Chain A
């Protein structure tokens, strides 16, 4: 186990280079309408179709963690800690189907790039939007899709990956049954090595190389999306909000690109220099923290009943409780941060769950109080039909072009037609105008005709 297998290593390096170079080539593959625009750089021009989105979201959800940590948990502790990931990926899709299409629609109509943008627009509250700095980066992949039904379709297609996840999880048991692998892992004292050792022992070195590359490359996609998500968040909700409200799209993109690079370097330093337990603790806390944004975002997609300050207070309560409770979890070998479950009324419960129950309770009670006290609820820039809007096949109108009046009356570019995308099936059959940018004018015209009565 100590010396590196030359064949395996060469294959890993070569495949990694191939993927990296493909990435650079792909950047020139499709000419962006305006590369220096946050929509383009941060969300792929909001133009991904079902097929690409399937890979993007799949690569985003099933990471190197899936290949390594899930079988490791099966190997070390069994189905309760390992196979639960399979059950989790079952419930995540129906739940997401309930609210993600709404998030997509409202983000498209208002050009929101981050969930905090949505919160800012929905509740007119900087404070609440700042509170939501932590969010599931999968949202970034969702917002980069072209049409509303692509999100929905992917909720039916993504479970296909989970079948694979089930089998990968079972590799942990295979490693346990394979005597040589099991002995090697025990000697190394690290269950995370279960799958790598299993592959090394069972397969020829060339195949092991392919398997290892898959793990390494599998870590690239989520890392890239996380960095972009963090960079967008900084640019939109900190830089533009507090430092330079008049930042041009070009400047926003530049800032975002630099921040993304800084995030990556920072993450590398974090991984190399800090003790391993730090990142595990952060991972544990991250789950609890992200869950606390659920009421503001998901409730907010359906109702404006909750008061913005109540949501903020509920979030704060959940965050404090969750963090303190996680800190206090101990085992005989670890004094703090030993796990993410707690005992409530004699039951073992995930701390995040207890925290969110507290969060919601505080939010509901304070909303009632604040409503009675008639505390201003803030302005809501969204309208109900926009939550089900689906601008047909139109490329995302870039914020710069969104000022329809000037854009159209200016008419400097023939291809920049505006046409009414019909919001079909809405009670009042509203239409809202979307800008067609950069498309051949004939196509724009055809789309225009379809939209007409």
Chain B
């Protein structure tokens, strides 16, 4: 196990992505927690009515939950991507202070 080079300590005082984008961060947290809560809190959907098609509510709820979850996760991930510019530096030529290891 070798240490990667150039990993100095974060200087104090610089702001974390969460502190820099409090609203976006809160929205992400709410989306993730809500998607867990609405599945875990079974009494919410443990009923036969209203029926959706021939499906009792319990079964239909969880079946519909899946695509909704996919979309919610996608939104959360997209928002996360906005916290820092891009999932990696490849799309922009924006400079960073990285030095070439030589």
Identify the A interface with B (CB < 8 A): 79, 83, 86-87, 90-91, 93-95, 97-98, 109-111, 117, 121, 147-149, 152-153, 155-157, 159-160, 162-163, 166-167, 170, 381, 383-386, 388, 390, 392-393, 399, 402-405, 408, 418-434, 448, 450-453
Contacts and interface: CB of A to CB of B under 8 A. Distances in A.
Contact of B2 (A159, A386, A402, A408): A402
Contact of A432 (B1, B5, B11): B5
Interface residues of B, number: 56
The 4 A-B pairs with the shortest beta carbon distances in the complex, nearest first, are: A431-B98, A425-B84, A427-B14, A433-B101
A424 B32 contact: no
A429 B97 contact: yes
A385 B8 CA distance: 9
B23 interface: no
Contacts of B69: 90, 93-94, 159, 162
A421 B89 contact: yes
A426 to B, nearest CB: 7
A428 B89 contact: no
Contact of A390 (B3, B16, B65, B87): B87
Interface in B22-50: 32-33, 35-36, 39-40, 42
22 contacts: A86-B63, A87-B40, A97-B73, A97-B76, A152-B80, A159-B69, A160-B66, A162-B69, A166-B62, A383-B7, A399-B2, A402-B2, A419-B101, A422-B96, A422-B98, A427-B14, A429-B98, A431-B97, A431-B99, A432-B4, A433-B4, A453-B95
Contact of B16 (A109, A421, A427): A427
Given A166-B63, A430-B8, A423 B70 contact: no
Contacts of B40: 87, 91
Given A94-B73, A97-B77, A425-B85, A86 B1 contact: no
Query: Which of A93, A153, A159, A170: most chain B Cβ within 10 A?
Result: A159
A90 to B, nearest CB: 4
A365 B40 CA distance: 28
A87 B9 contact: no
Given A86-B62, A393-B88, A426-B10, A450 B74 contact: no
A427 B101 contact: no
Given A157-B70, A418-B100, A453-B96, A425 B83 contact: yes
